[in-house]
């Protein structure tokens, strides 16, 4: 247990995306990612410090070494849940891509789950790594990367299919970022994968946020894509990035 994780941020906020939108969580944001999505707004400079809120929800941060050990992390989590009993629904492991650290997480997650349920936010491209920890998480929020919006170097449909198969049986949801260039063929492919594996999986359409904070898809096209998906799946929802609208982390 002397190993450490490269953590960029630890903070308390409202989940703004997907199945747990509106729930307050303790966010543990890990560094590094195996993809380079065009809309990604998260930077991960190696060697920087880990930013930790000095109290949950304060938006005032202290700098600590980026390499965070389990004991230090447990101290923070225990202090925050003691200070604000029942305020937090769960712990969100986000990034970057948390599954890049699956071997160490397999050791850490039992202790983290002793404090709060664990919500994994993932780009849905590392099915083998997910298999190592799937029994140790409570919620899986996976992305499916559309070529029209993510532009991260080719289609990932087969990888996403294997990932969703691995997650089957857990509380899993799928999020896609949709923009004006997203088309019916992409929506059909997403729906086909979900329908073949677990048709009741919630699908979230998240409007693309442009660098100037404007929405990257018209209302008419967004509703058109929603209608296409709803014709194939039983639970289709449209949710923007609520945390950005609220002005929280």
Residue ranges for the known binding site are: 14-16, 29, 33, 37, 39-42, 94, 96
CB atoms near residue 45 (< 10 Å): 8
Which positions make up the binding site for Mg(2+)? 42
Binding residues for S-adenosyl-L-methionine: 39-41, 96
Known binding-site residues for substrate equal 14-16, 29, 94
How many other C-beta atoms are found inside a 10 Å radius of the C-beta of residue 138? 15
Contact 97, 133 (CB under 8 A): no
Residue 136 and residue 132: Cα distance in Å, rounded? Answer: 9
Report the helix count and the strand count for the chain, using DSSP H and E: 7, 11
The Cα–Cα gap between 14 and 21 comes to 7
Residues contributing to the annotated binding site for [4Fe-4S] cluster:
33, 37, 40
25 contacts 13 by C-beta, under 8 angstroms = yes
Separation of alpha carbons 5 and 72, rounded Å: 11
């Amino acid at each position: 247990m002397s190993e450490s994780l490269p953590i960029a941020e630890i903070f308390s906020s409202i989940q703004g995306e997907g199945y747990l939108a509106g729930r307050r969580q303790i966010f543990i944001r890990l560094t590094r990612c195996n993809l380079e999505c065009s809309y990604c707004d998260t930077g991960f400079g190696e060697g920087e410090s880990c930013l930790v809120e000095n109290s949950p929800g304060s938006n005032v941060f202290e700098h600590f070494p980026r390499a965070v050990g389990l004991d230090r992390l447990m101290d923070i989590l225990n202090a925050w849940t003691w200070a604000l009993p029942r305020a937090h629904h769960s712990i969100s492991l986000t990034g970057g891509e948390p599954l890049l650290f699956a071997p160490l997480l397999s050791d850490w997650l039992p202790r983290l789950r002793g404090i709060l349920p664990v919500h994994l936010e993932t780009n849905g491209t590392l099915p083998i790594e997910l298999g190592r920890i799937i029994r140790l998480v409570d919620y899986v929020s996976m992305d499916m990367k559309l070529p029209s919006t993510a532009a991260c170097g080719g289609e990932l449909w087969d990888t996403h299919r294997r990932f969703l198969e691995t997650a089957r049986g857990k509380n899993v949801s799928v999020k896609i970022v949709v923009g004006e260039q997203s088309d019916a063929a992409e929506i059909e492919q997403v729906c086909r994968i979900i329908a073949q594996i677990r048709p009741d999986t919630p699908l979230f359409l998240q409007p693309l946020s442009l660098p100037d904070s404007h929405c990257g898809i018209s209302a008419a096209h967004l509703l058109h894509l929603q209608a296409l998906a709803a014709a194939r799946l039983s639970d289709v929802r449209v949710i923007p990035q609520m945390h950005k609208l609220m002005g929280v982390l």
